[in-house]
Each structure stands twice: as structure tokens, then as C-alpha cells.
Structure 1
Amino acid sequence: MIKRPDYIKPGCSIGITAPSFGPSSEPYYSMYFYAKKNLETRGYKVIEGDTLFKNDGVGINTDPKVAAAELMDFYKRSDVDAIISAGGGELMNETITHVDFESLRDVKPKWYMGYSDNTNFIFPLVTIAEVQGIYGPCISGLAKKWELPETDAVALLEGTKTEFAGYDRFVDPEKEEKGEEITDYSTVNFDVPYNYNSEKVLTNLVFENGTAVKAGESEKISMRGILLGGCVDVLANMIGTRFDNMRSFNERYKDIIWVLEACDLTPMSYRRAIWNMREAGWFDNAKGFVIGRPLTAFGKNMMGADHYNAVTAVVGELGVPVIMDADIGHIDPMLPVVMGAEAKVSAEGNDLRIKYL
């Protein structure tokens, strides 16, 4: 069985380390201290890693060997009860070159939370070490007035909630108003909610003879299995590396719900990446897909390719349901997800539900 870490509670210690990007520049520097204050106000002790404010790496916060050593140290330390990543980034793949996931099988499991580039750690944590991880906000995502998305993330860490619902509104990047450029972040009031400027609309699909058919408003889609996935930008690059343990994982676990989203991929590169995953056999045990709004490809069209058929044209032959434009990933709000956990997932109209078992 995939191991579930112990839940934390006020009084525990949360380690903040930077295996990829860190808050060494604004606005992330100021956001970090506000997020830290939020956690401390809730009763947590924050343990800062030496990597946190380093800025001596190339495309990454610091030397990947240094980042990996601190990540492993934090994971093994008895005085660190959970870990929240300092940020996303671009080159955490170079950090995990120096992470021994096999050795983490024998370590007391603890929660690790982050998203985007942190897929590099969470995915093999589940598929190699067989430990659950939370695909959710990095530390800067807690630097605001906490609303349901933030309290949901903490609820997963604390184990106080087992059923989660998607949110009603989201931030459409195309509709965001451009404010004045900020030069002094010490004057910024972070204690405000996000401006969710658009109504969330799910696209729920079933397949008939390999062709995607949109489910009716009152038609309920349901699936049960182990949640697995993350950022497709990262996952497609793992295929065929020593961190690709999907053949063995698929032999052990037969029902998988893929939870996927994308950051920098265009509709074309997104479609190629999904094809890559399918052809590598990753989707052999797929029971369904929950697909988040992709940051770059959202609403874009390239020669007829868009973020919908990037998925449906490739996975349609599997004949399993697909829920698209879910609150997963880079376009806020983010519904945190426990990768490696068994859950029931359902969608009816615009109502997405995840119930952990």
C-alpha cells in the first residue's frame, strides 16, 4: 500500500526548503514572510532551510547537489514534521538526480506539499518510494488572506477534512487588470483575497467509439482509483529515465485516476506530451482523467489544436471519462490533491468532488 504520512497539528514544525526556486527576489521575498506569519499565527513552528534565500544557481536557486542534500535532510529529520516547498521553478529535475527515492521507503513518511516543478519530487515519491504527497500550494501560495483553497490545503496536512469540492470562480489571465508596477513591496497589503474574475465551467466528457461526447448538465461522471499525476511539462520529461517506474507501478496498482495540468506547453506541445505518456504505457490502468486549466494553452488554438483535443484526441481510445478545466494547477484557485491516495471522484455539471477513502 502507498503510505500516508502522519497528519500534523499546531505545535508541529514545518520545514521550508528550496529544491528549485526560492524567494530570493520580489515579490516572493515579501510573500514568504507573510506566509510564514500565517503559519505561525496558526500555531506552527517554521524551520527555514539554508537554501531558502540562496541565489547562486543557474536557472535554479542553488547548486542542485546542495538543494538535494537539504531536501533529503529535511525529509529524514525527526524535528521536521512536514515540508512545504519554497516555490516552483524550472530545473528541479537536476535536484532529484541526487535524491535516493529508494532509501525514502525506509524513512518515516512525512507530508511534502508543492506543485508545478515539485512534480519532480512528488511523482517518484509516490511511484518509487510509495508515499503520498500533496500537489498543492508552495509557501508563497499561503501569502494572502486565506480563503477556501488555502484552508483546504492546510486541512489535508492536518487531516481534518476528507471530501473536497471545486470552486465556483477562477482567475482568467486574459481578463486580469494590469495595475501599477510595484517597486516597494513593504507597502503591499497581502491580507486580501484574489480577484476571481470568471465563472468556473467544467467540461465533462465521455467517449463513444473513441469520440469525445460532452456529458449532459445532469449527467454524473464517477470514478474510483489512486490519484496520480502533476505538471505535464515535468512528467513528459521523466519518461524513460530512472525516475520512470510506471511499468512496475502499473503492475501493483490497477485503477489510476490521472490528475494533470500544464504550465508552459502550447496546445501542440501539450498534445505531444500527452501522446508521449500514453505511448510509454503510463495510462494503461487509467480509470479516468481530471485535467486542470493549462496556463499557456488555455483558450489558445494552433492549427485546430487546443487544450481540449490535446487530451481527448490522445486518450479517447481508452474509453474512460475525462473532466476538464478543473481547479488544478497554475490558474487560481488551486484545489490541493493528495497524489497516491485512493479516492472517489465525481463531476456533475460544474460540481467537482474528491472524496478520500
Structure 2
Amino acid sequence: MIQYPFLQKGATIGVTAPSSGVNSALHNMFKQSCESMERKGYTVVCGETVWTQEKAKSSSANKRANEFMEMMQDENINIIIPPWGGELLIEILEEIDFEKINKKWVLGYSDTSVLLLAITLKIGIATAHGTNFVDVRGEYSDHTTAMWQSVLSTEVGDSITQYSSEKYQAKWQHNNPSPCVFHLTEDTNWKTISNGNVSITGRLLGGCIDVIRHLIGTPFGNVQEFRKKHCNNDPFIWYFENCELTTTDLRRSLVQMKLAGWFENCSGILFGRSAANHPVNEYTAEDVYTELANELQIPIIYDVDCGHRPPQITFINGAFAEVEVEGGKGVITQHFK
């Protein structure tokens, strides 16, 4: 069965950088996140890796893994939220003793999703794909982003419902600070390949496809073993977000996942909004989604609230979910069972 952590009021947040740290020019911005969370009643503990960044990583793989494990084993730390993603988190996986990981939430997206998916697949502890720590630095959060607290405070056996956002951010504007961090200017519209209403159920798994695809064929990406051990052979709903892949690279990655058996007993796939998805020779993301839907004979929903075009719905790896799309609006209910 899946083990679900629980976020208590006034929790202590451990911030460590298993991928990229924060370079000195952005330290003040990061401190705003710490102050924002402390105003909300949390205690924030930052590791050494947060404050350094060199050669595409916060520090050595060994140091990053050790600091993460120390926070996972520290009984005074209740949840771990990295500052943001990065590029090379995958380096630390072989340095982590997964059997010594305590049951507590790890929350984030982008490169962090490699760690999230590996934890859930290896040991059956639910993990949370949602906001990064730097994105909670505003005076307030939009409703979609703010739901991370409610989702992570859901009791085992209970369920929680989230709704698609009203608007999303098309472009980052770091030189134009907003009270809620994001500039939500574009109308959100969840789309389906069938162009009709869709309803699917299954256990959620996913993350940033750029990086989680590299778990295929490793001890950290054994989806079949996870299904047998923790899921009673329930169907899966996969969710993906594309950070930088062209459409042909996206297609290659999805075909590899299919050949590796990741889409066996899959009831549907969700794709987040993406500023990548650059067409190659007029081959578009919609072409990719259509081909996959036809091959797997399953519904595909796209432009959902997931990824590098915020805001983020909080997806729980391992939770049993019901996803419904009607008239461009989405509803997702996650059951902690």
C-alpha cells in the first residue's frame, strides 16, 4: 500500500538543494520565501547547499545526498521543499539510502520530480509534485498554488478536490515583481484529444518528462515492481510536463516509456502547458498527443495546470485520482488510500 505523510500546522520546513542552489545574486529573493513562510506560521531551516551554485549544481552529489538524508532523518523537520529544480539531481540517487528515508512530504517540480518519482517507486511513500519554495515568496499565493497546504494536510483515508485555474502565466517577468509572484494573464483551457468531455481514474505518477525519462531501465524506475508491491494492480494516470524538449524529442521519450512498459494498464495521460514543444518540420505537440492516444487507446488531456507555466495543481504520486474535464475546465479529486 501507499504510505502518505501528513503536514501539520506550524510545521518545520527543511530547504535543501538536491539539484540547483541559489547563487548569491538571488539570495535576497530566496530570503523573501523564508520570511513569507514564517509569516504563515512555519519554521524554516535551510541547509548549506541552498546558498551555493557552481557548474550546474549546488554542490557535489555526495554533499547533496547527505544533506537531504540528514533532513529526512531529522525528527524536527516535517517537510522538505527544495528552492527549485535544476539540471543534475539524478547524480544523487545512487548516494541515497532509500530504506532509511522517513515518511515526510517532499514537494517541488522540474528536476526535483526525479527524486519524487524515485522515492514513490522505490519505497511506496507518496510525494508531492507542486510549487517550488521560491514561488511562495509573494504577499499571497493564487488559489491553485495555495492548495498545496490543504492537499498535504489530507488525512489517510480522506480525499481532496482541486480545480483548474482561471488564468495562467505565459511568461516569467522577474524584473516586474507581483504581489503573488506570478503574472496570471492567459485564460486556462484544459483540452482533450477527443475534443469532448473526459473522465478517468487511476493512481497518479509523473513529473518533468525531460528528466524522469532517465529513470527508465534503472533501479529507480521500476514501474512494474511498484504496481505489484504497492498498488494492487490499479491502473495508472501519468502526468507529464515538458520543460525544454522539441516535439520529436518528446515523441522519442514517450515511445521509450511505452517500450519500457510504463504505459501498461494506463487509463489516461495528462500533459502540462509548455513553452517548449517546438514543432519540428511541422510536427506539433498535438500530433504527438494524438498519435499516443491512438496507439494506447486512452484519453489524453493537455494544457493542464502543471509545469513551467504556473500555477501548479498539487499532484500526489501514488494517490488514487479521479480526473474530469468538461468544457475546458478540469477537476481532480485525489484519494489517500
Normalising to structure 2: TM-score of the pair? Answer: 0.92
Instruction: Quote the offset at 1:194 in angstroms.
Output: 2.6
Instruction: Quote the offset at 1:223 in angstroms.
Output: 1.3
Alignment-derived partner of residue 272 in structure 1: 252
Alignment-derived partner of residue 137 in structure 2: 143
What SS does structure 1 have at the residue aligned with 2:125?
Answer: coil
Alignment-derived partner of residue 79 in structure 2: 82
Contact 1:96 1:121 in 2 (8 A): yes
Give the alignment partner of residue 60 of structure 1, picking from 57, 62, 83.
Answer: 57
Provide, for residues 89-112 of structure 1, a one-character-per-residue CA deviation record: whole Å limited to 9, x for no partner.
0000012221122443xx3x0011
Instruction: Quote the offset at 1:30 in angstroms.
Output: 2.4
1:194 maps to 2:164: no
Instruction: Quote the offset at 1:132 in angstroms.
Output: 0.6
1:134 maps to 2:115: no
1:7 maps to 2:2: no
What SS does structure 2 have at the residue aligned with 1:353?
Answer: strand
**Structure 2: distance between partners of 1:248 and 1:41:** 43
Provide, for residues 218-264 of structure 1, a one-character-per-residue CA deviation record: whole Å limited to 9, x for no partner.
x3x11111110001011211111221211212334331110111101
Gaps of 5+ in 2: none
Contact 1:250 1:284 in 2 (8 A): no
Contact 1:294 1:307 in 2 (8 A): no
What SS does structure 1 have at the residue aligned with 2:276?
Answer: coil
**Structure 2: distance between partners of 1:32 and 1:150:** 18
1:260 maps to 2:258: no
What SS does structure 2 have at the residue aligned with 1:278?
Answer: helix
Contact 1:342 1:356 in 2 (8 A): yes
**Structure 2: distance between partners of 1:53 and 1:61:** 8
Single out whichever of 156-165 and 141-150 deviates more from structure 2.
156-165
**Structure 2: distance between partners of 1:52 and 1:278:** 36
Instruction: Quote the offset at 1:343 in angstroms.
Output: 1.5
Alignment-derived partner of residue 285 in structure 1: 265
AA matched with 2:9: K
Contact 2:205 2:236 in 1 (8 A): yes
Alignment-derived partner of residue 18 in structure 2: 19
Instruction: Quote the offset at 1:301 in angstroms.
Output: 2.0
AA matched with 1:194: F
What SS does structure 2 have at the residue aligned with 1:52?
Answer: helix
Instruction: Provide the aligned length of Structure 1 versus Structure 2.
Output: 328
**Structure 2: distance between partners of 1:31 and 1:149:** 22
AA matched with 2:186: S
Alignment of 1:285-324 (within 5 A): 285-297=265-277, 300-324=278-302
**Structure 2: distance between partners of 1:69 and 1:355:** 35
1:156 maps to 2:142: no
AA matched with 2:3: K
What SS does structure 1 have at the residue aligned with 2:111?
Answer: helix
Give the alignment partner of residue 195 of structure 2, picking from 188, 206, 214.
Answer: 214
Instruction: Quote the offset at 1:69 in angstroms.
Output: 0.5
1:41 maps to 2:29: no
**Structure 1: distance between partners of 2:73 and 2:109:** 21
Instruction: Quote the offset at 1:14 in angstroms.
Output: 0.7
Single out whichever of 327-336 and 304-313 deviates more from structure 2.
304-313
**Structure 2: distance between partners of 1:158 and 1:319:** 35
Instruction: Quote the offset at 1:7 in angstroms.
Output: 2.2
**Structure 2: distance between partners of 1:303 and 1:128:** 39
Identity over the aligned pairs, expressed in percent? 27
Instruction: Quote the offset at 1:193 in angstroms.
Output: 5.1
Alignment-derived partner of residue 164 in structure 2: 166
Alignment-derived partner of residue 318 in structure 2: 340
- Which segments of structure 1 move beyond 6 Å, counting only runs of 4 or more? none
AA matched with 2:36: N
AA matched with 1:15: G
Instruction: Quote the offset at 1:115 in angstroms.
Output: 0.5
Alignment-derived partner of residue 191 in structure 2: 203
Alignment-derived partner of residue 210 in structure 1: none
AA matched with 1:214: N
What SS does structure 2 have at the residue aligned with 1:276?
Answer: helix
Instruction: Quote the offset at 1:315 in angstroms.
Output: 4.2
Contact 1:278 1:315 in 2 (8 A): no
1:113 maps to 2:94: no
1:71 maps to 2:30: no
Distance 1:130 1:192, change over 3 A: closer
**Structure 1: distance between partners of 2:179 and 2:187:** 23
